[in-house]
Amino acid sequence: MAHLGTKLLFLLSALCYALIAAAGNNYYDILQVPKGASDEQIKRSYRKLALKYHPDKNPGNEEANKKFAEINNAYEVLSDSEKRNIYDKYGEDGLKQFAAGGGRGGGMGMNPFDIFEDFFGGGRGRAEEEEQIPKGDDVIVELDATLEDLYMGGTLKVWREKNVIKPAPGKRRCNCRNEVYHRQIGPGMFQQMTEQVCEQCQNIKFEREGYFLTVDIEKGMQDGQEVGFFEDGEPKVDGESGDLKVSV
């Protein structure tokens, strides 16, 4: 009877943690990724959002500053397999208990600029320990803009063709690895577990696709100045695409 009561208490505690997680900020929603997102998807989304809401790009915008802090807080948790596993099961309250039990903390109170600098190579920390994500080649396209275009500003359309990764029949060997995570077995007690992410990935192929690219030319741009398009360069298998730079 006592064993049944202990089991019921544990289930109720887990349910409370789940309700707390649902009521608070959802880290996956903040980073705009699904709950089952891969580490690469989380890093890619964080990079886009952090650059978009960085205070240097939004001076005096308190809403953007708040968003920037939320993005970095969410990334601090979801980029760490141990913290992410605890958050998935027990929510933010579980992270706080983990920190109280001698863990590395739940990302709360972390300086968002430290996280940003670690990610983009401007500081020391976890970024030095993580494997660098492979990236495709950057592409530079020359745009025939007139002096009037540069002086007056406006938009120009450019036809662009590039390689695109598409699914293909069959499987292929991938670069996925075994992930190590920790499972809570009691208050302040965690057990290290190993889970194989995948054995084989969907086969892929490259196809050539063309589309019109809209380039915004600001008034007063100089000849040879570049307009950047994030991850619109050459694709990279098991990595992220390079950037596209349009030289006006």
In a domain, 175, yes or no: no
Number of domains in the chain: 2
Q: What is the pLDDT of residues 163-177, one digit of tens each?
A: 888 888 887 766 565
User: Do 66 and 146 lie in a common domain?
Assistant: no
Residue 225 lies in domain:
139-168+203-247
Q: What is the pLDDT of residues 32-81, one digit of tens each?
A: 888 888 888 888 888 888 888 888 778 888 888 889 889 988 898 888 88
In a domain, 59, yes or no: yes
In a domain, 189, yes or no: no
Report whether pLDDT(90) > 70: yes
In a domain, 91, yes or no: yes
In this predicted structure, what is the pLDDT of residue 169? 86
Instruction: Answer with the one of 133, 150, 181 that is the final residue of a domain.
Output: 133
pTM (predicted TM-score): 0.40
In a domain, 173, yes or no: no
In a domain, 185, yes or no: no
Report whether pLDDT(197) > 60: no
For the chain, the three-class secondary structure string (H helix, E strand, C coil) is CHHHHHHHHHHHHHHHHHHHHHHCCCHHHHHCCCCCCCHHHHHHHHHHHHHHHCCCCCCCCHHHHHHHHHHHHHHHHHCCHHHHHHHHHHHHHHHHHHHHCCCCCCCCCCCHHHHHHHHCCCCCCHHHHCCCCCECCCEEEECCCCHHHHHHCEEEEEEEEEEEEEEEEEEECCCCCEEEEEEEEECCEEEEEEEECCCCEEEEEEEEEEEEEEEEECCCCCCCCEEEECCCCCCCCCCECCCEEEEC
User: Do 126 and 143 lie in a common domain?
Assistant: no
In a domain, 55, yes or no: yes
Instruction: Answer with the one of 133, 152, 187 that is the final residue of a domain.
Output: 133
Can you tell me which residue has the tokens 């495709």? 136
Q: pLDDT averaged over the chain?
A: 73
Confidence of residue 21 (pLDDT cuts 50, 70, 90): very low
User: Do 111 and 222 lie in a common domain?
Assistant: no
In this predicted structure, what is the pLDDT of residue 93? 77
Q: What is the pLDDT of residues 98-151, one digit of tens each?
A: 666 555 444 444 555 555 555 555 444 444 344 467 788 888 888 877 787 777
